Chains A and B, each alone.
Chain A
Amino acid sequence: MRTVEVLFVIIILLGALIMAIQFAVLPSPRQAFGTNLRELSQSTLETLDGKGILTETVFKDSNDTDWGDLQKALSASLPPNVVYNLSVYDISTSSGGVIDYHLANSISDAGFGVDSEAASLLATSPNVTFTITPEKVGEKTGENNTLYILNCNDANGWWITGYTGQSLATDIYDLLSPYFTTTVLLNTTDQLGLLLENSTSLEGTIQNAVVMNPFGETVPIPDDYCEGGSHEDEGYYVIAYENDTYSKYCYTLGVKTQQYNWTWVSIVGYPLYYVSNTETFTGPDDHNGYGIHGMIKVGPAGLNAFLRGLDNKSYDVWRLEGSDWIYGDGSITSEIGVVQFTPQALDKCNYYGIYPSPYQTASRALPQSIEVDYHLERWAPIFELKSGYSAAATYRHAGGATEGGALTAIGLTRIPDIRVAVLALLMYYNPTVYRSEFGASCTSRLVTLQLGQQGGT
């Protein structure tokens, strides 16, 4: 009886064993430890396409001798136990927008076994030039806005560590000039003076222009607007106790911005914190306290005066602090730390192909309260609001006694990333980018290299 029971147990054990053997199937050694064929395929395609040679070949007629050379090159570059199949597909887009792949040519050296891996490469025809044509800012409205970039060789910058205003001006020119009908570099502070005087001698249209200031927290000032200059009354102001201030110049800039409907762009830091003219400010005390000469500090009064000018308010906000008359209400910015891009900014990064870091540190963010105080509307914010402060946006003057003018303020800490300012401006004007069609027939081909390993189990 016991023997019969044991036989039952043995049957159960054997059944379990057979089932375990059935299900516990180990992968083949080739799958488990074989060379990673997909990566090998990818690296082969990349190295063969060095200097665009593979791309050139795949667009040639299938009878061309280059195909034979490619086949030899493939055979020579792959280990003898690896077989390959290189297929080239022509990509075309039908009128309904459906992308079709048609086999254009294929070369291989043997049939595949059970397993194979493939990698692909998108090749664009060397005979086709893919173009990106940006819409010009103001083209639709007929304004054809001119871009003026301050490139004054007689001014110094601050808060742009590692750069100079002039080098940044060149970068801005490269990035933004395709979007404007006319781009003008103002190479001296005298030329800036012509802009402020609405001179017809300047190229471009001053009305509705964009004025980029790449000097960071400094703004170049023409000699005429300095003490003793012909426009001294628009740039310089002396108050009691012999305290002088160039906040008057910043006020004038605000007035002009409103008057000519400019968009004034400050690329980094606290806007209009210093004024600079290396030819005029030559005294031993004409420096910013950090070793940069040729400039005079205005302080937070500069931005306050600018905003009052923009809002058509009078230049008369003074209060006595100790023995000093202080213009405006002091600093209005705040250090809010790390800020991140809005979804719209991330989207526009892809649209315009500009990729600054989506996380930045803001030490000069502007408060929301200025929108009420100066009748401003916040447009195209790059960063999410944080504690009621905005790190970078364009403030359009859209209320009060008169409308017009805008300030783009990037309140980030140094070192400046000029792409943030460029992105802010493009987000504000939102020009369309017309791209040539990548899916047009015979312009793009998909190359796939399929590899298989012979031998082994």
Chain B
Amino acid sequence: MAGATIDHMVAVTILIAALLLTMGVYNQMFASAVGYEGNRKIAMKAVDIINTACLSPGNPEDWGETNASLLGFGLQDPQAGGYALSPYSLMRLRTSSDDSQLVEYPPGSGLFYNNISADYGCGIFSPVGDCLNYTAAAKMLGINGTYGFRLDIVPTLDVNVSQVPNEDYLILKVEVRGPGIALADVTLNYYMFQIVPGEGEDDPPSITTQSEIVQTGPYGSALIEFPTITDLNTAYSFLVYARLSGLKGVGYYSHDTIEDDPSYIVPLIQDFKNGTIAIAHTWDVHYFGTPVPNVYYNATFFVLSQGFQLHQVQIPNATGQVNYGQPPQTTRVPAYEAGVLFIAYKGRGQLRSIVLPWGVGTLGVSISFGGDPTGYSFVATELRQVSINDISYQVKVSTWSLSG
């Protein structure tokens, strides 16, 4: 009797141990499968989001060129189709995630501007009221509260411009790189805008333009010499378009005679449909103390046409004065023509410039739009090649689950 009982107890113990072991293994398998399934859903959602963003123009399809409210999210260029994004729709994305990054103008008015900025004195200041924010985009994509996403739109080619130390005349170095490789034999189409001071104290500056086509050498760089520019403290802006087979990129560099001070002028987009831009005094946006500079400006709009040719077009109020505490000057650019608004200005006897790209591709501006994936255990990414204003870009979508 005792032997049978012991036999029974041993058997039950071994059985329970075996069951626990196998259940543990099965649990592990199921957990992995469930985890895979969840991650797979996120990856599929990333594909869904990037296809919607890149292959749909949104509704209405010309929403980037108007002030209309958006009913459906999409960034495709309706005129070009395919993997081409609208340079104007991108300008209407609210890229600032934090209200402190917004610019209020006039101060206390409650009118805020989103700043899609690039380096070296260029920026796109769009009225927040006309911009699409992340939450609204997520709602239109049907993922609000379930998935988070982030769009990173960056130029494929990295075109870097720097000034080479030289005592006699100006030399600029242009380097073109892909991801990790220097690119030789790249055709460079450059524009040098030299800022020339006006005759009198109160005269706005003017600009002179030089352009040429050169190629990068075997190490992916080109030295461009300007023997006519002997004053190395001269103010200028340099714009270069790079072409290699079907790849196109853009680089921008500016040099000012004003040091340590903020920009004296801020161009603010007032109306997308009409292309209205306010040229405001920086001290009206943020007060930097005395002395307040009086600013004389000269604004020029260049339309970017096929083959990366820049053509100047006439705009109203092309020259004028901007004073602190006074209403801004207002100009208008052709709303449906991508290009760059180049504003040269003089303040405290010094020269400087600021550029507003009309259409993000014309100056190779990068854009990040959406939430922050930091802290999430699994983030799926998708990548596509696109073109914006004929400039090659890469769009990366990061997607994560908000439900854990």
Residue positions of A touching B, CB distance < 8 A: 1-3, 5-7, 9-10, 13-14, 16-17, 20-21, 24, 26-27, 32-36, 39-40, 42-44, 46-51, 53-54, 57, 65-66, 68-70, 72-73, 75-80
| CB-nearest residue of chain B to A35 | B383
Within 8 Å CB of B7, what residues of A?
1-3
- For the complex, count residues of B whose C-beta is within 8 A of A: 55
Residue in B14, B50, B392 whose beta carbon sits within 8 Å of that of A6 in the complex: B14
Q: Which of B11, B83, B179 contacts A43 (CB 8 A)?
A: B83
Which residue of A2, A14, A80 is within 8 Å of B179 (Cβ)?
A80
CB–CB B36/A26 < 8 A = yes
Distance in angstroms from A394 CB to nearest chain B CB is 36
Q: A40-B385, A76-B178 are in contact. Are A46 and B245 (CB under 8 A)?
A: no
Q: Which residues of B contact A49 (CB under 8 A)?
A: 246
Complex Cα distance, B37 from A27, in Å, reads: 10
> Given known contacts A14-B18, A43-B54, A69-B185, what 20 new A-B pairs fall within 8 Å (CB)?
A1-B7, A2-B4, A3-B14, A6-B15, A10-B14, A32-B36, A34-B43, A35-B382, A39-B47, A39-B382, A40-B384, A43-B83, A46-B83, A47-B387, A49-B246, A72-B178, A72-B185, A76-B181, A77-B385, A80-B180
A47 with B83, Cβ < 8 A, contacts A33-B43, A77-B392 known: yes
CB–CB A69/B15 < 8 A: no
Interface of chain B residues 161 through 203 with chain A (CB within 8 A): 177-181, 183-185
| Structural contact, B247 and A73, CB atoms closer than 8 A | yes
Interface flags for B32-70 (1: CB within 8 Å of A; 0: not) read 110010011011000100110010000000000000000
A73 with B384: CB separation less than 8 A:
no
Tell me if B18 and A13 are in contact (CB < 8 A). yes
Please list the residues of chain B having a beta carbon within 8 angstroms of any beta carbon in chain A. 4, 7-8, 10-12, 14-15, 18-19, 22, 25-26, 29, 32-33, 36, 39-40, 42-43, 47, 50-51, 54, 82-83, 156-157, 177-181, 183-185, 244-248, 306, 378, 380-387, 390, 392, 394
In the complex formed, the residue of A with least CB distance to B378 is A33
Top-3 shortest CB links A-B = A76-B178, A48-B246, A2-B11
**A76: which of B54, B82, B157 is its contact (CB, 8 Å)?**
B157
Assuming the contacts A6-B15, A35-B383, A48-B245, asked whether A17 and B32 have C-beta atoms less than 8 A apart, the reply is: no
Is B245's CB under 8 angstroms from A53's CB? yes
A24 touches B29 (CB 8 A): yes
Known: A36-B47, A40-B385, A43-B386. A69 touches B179 (CB 8 A): no
Q: Which residues of B contact A35 (CB under 8 A)?
A: 381-383
A223 to B384, CA, bound (A): 64
Nearest-CB distance from A29 to chain B (Å)? 8
Known A-B contacts A50-B387, A77-B392; the reply to A33 vs B40 at CB < 8 A is yes
Q: A40-B383, A48-B247 are in contact. Are A32 and B14 (CB under 8 A)?
A: no
Residue of A nearest to B80 (CB): A50
* CB atoms of B380 and A73 under 8 A apart: no
Closest B residue, CB atoms, query A41: B385
- Contact in complex: A73, B246 (CB < 8 Å): yes
Closest to A6 in B: B11
Residue of A nearest to B83 (CB): A43
Expressed in whole angstroms, the Cα–Cα distance for A47 and B157 within the complex equals: 13
How many Å from the CB of A52 to the closest CB on chain B?
9
Contacts of A53 in B (CB 8 A): 245-246
What separation, in Å, do the CA atoms of A50 and B180 have in the docked complex?
24
CB distance from B87 to the nearest CB of A (A): 14
| B245 and A72 contact, CB distance less than 8 A | yes
Say how far B127's CB is from chain A's closest CB, in angstroms.
31
Residues of A within 8 A of B156 (CB): 76-77
- Among A16, A35, A40, A76, max chain B CB count under 10 A is at A76
Q: Which residues of A contact B392 (CB under 8 A)?
A: 47, 77
In Å, the complex CA distance between A271 and B32 comes to: 71
Interface SS of chain B: mixed
**Whole-angstrom distance from the CB of B379 to the nearest CB of chain A?**
10
Known A40-B384, A77-B392; judge A24-B33 contact (CB<8 A).
Answer: yes
CA distance A21 to B25 in the complex (A): 9
Please determine whether A39 and B157 come into contact, CB atoms closer than 8 angstroms: no
Q: Are B43 and A69 in contact (CB under 8 A)?
A: no
B27–chain A nearest beta-carbon distance, Å: 12
Q: Are B185 and A47 in contact (CB under 8 A)?
A: no
Q: Is the CB of A13 within 8 A of B180?
A: no
Cα A401 to Cα B353 in complex, Å, equals 86
Q: Report if A21-B29 is in contact (Cβ < 8 Å); known contacts: A44-B385, A72-B184.
A: yes
* A72 engages B40 (CB within 8 Å): no
Q: For the complex, what is the distance from the CA of A290 to the CA of B134, rounded to whole Å?
A: 48
Pick from B183, B384, B390: contact of A39, CB under 8 Å: B384
Contact of A66 among B33, B177, B245, B248 (CB under 8 A): B245
30 residue pairs of the A-B complex, CB under 8 angstroms, read A2-B4, A2-B8, A2-B11, A2-B12, A3-B7, A5-B11, A7-B14, A10-B14, A10-B15, A10-B18, A14-B18, A32-B40, A35-B381, A35-B383, A43-B83, A47-B246, A47-B387, A51-B246, A51-B390, A53-B246, A54-B246, A66-B245, A72-B178, A73-B244, A73-B245, A75-B181, A76-B178, A77-B385, A77-B392, A78-B179
A207 to B331, CA, bound (A): 62
Complexed CA–CA distance, A70 and B243 (Å): 11
| Structural contact, A76 and B246, CB atoms closer than 8 A | no
Is there an interface contact between B244 and A69, defined as CB atoms closer than 8 Å? yes
Residues of A within 8 A of B26 (CB): 17, 20
In the bound complex, residues from chain B placing their C-beta under 8 Å from that of A34 are: 43
Q: Which residue of B lies closest to A44 (CB)?
A: B385
Residues of B close to A3: CB separation below 8 A: 7, 10-11, 14
Residues of B within 8 A of A13 (CB): 18-19, 22
In Å, the complex CA distance between A73 and B310 comes to: 25
Q: How far is the CB of B65 from chain A (nearest CB, A)?
A: 21
Report the bound CA distance from A27 to B40 in whole Å: 10
The smallest C-beta distance from A250 to any residue of chain B, in angstroms, reads 43
Q: Which of B384, B385, B387 has the most CB of A within 10 A?
A: B385
Contact A72–B11 (Cβ < 8 Å): no
Query: Please, which residue of chain B has its CB at the minimum distance from the CB of A52?
Result: B246
**A79 CA / B247 CA spacing, docked (Å):** 14
Bound complex: CA A46 to CA B395 (Å)? 14
Question: Within the complex, what minimum Cβ distance (angstroms) separates A31 from chain B?
Answer: 9
| Distance, CA A34 to CA B392, complexed state (A) | 23
Residues of A within 8 A of B36 (CB): 26-27, 32
Complex alpha-carbon distance, A36 and B51, angstroms? 11
For A24, list chain B residues within 8 Å (CB): 29, 33
Q: How far is the CB of A18 from chain B (nearest CB, A)?
A: 10
Determine how close the nearest CB of chain B comes to the CB of A210; give it in whole angstroms: 35
For the complex formed, measure the closest distance between the CB of A387 and the CB atoms of chain B, giving whole angstroms: 36
Q: How far is the CB of A69 from chain B (nearest CB, A)?
A: 4
Q: Which chain A residues lie closer than 8 Å to B10 at the CB level?
A: 2-3
Complex-state Cα separation, A54 to B248, whole angstroms: 13
A48 to B43, CA, bound (A): 26
Rounded to whole Å, the gap between the CB of A278 and the closest CB of chain B is 35
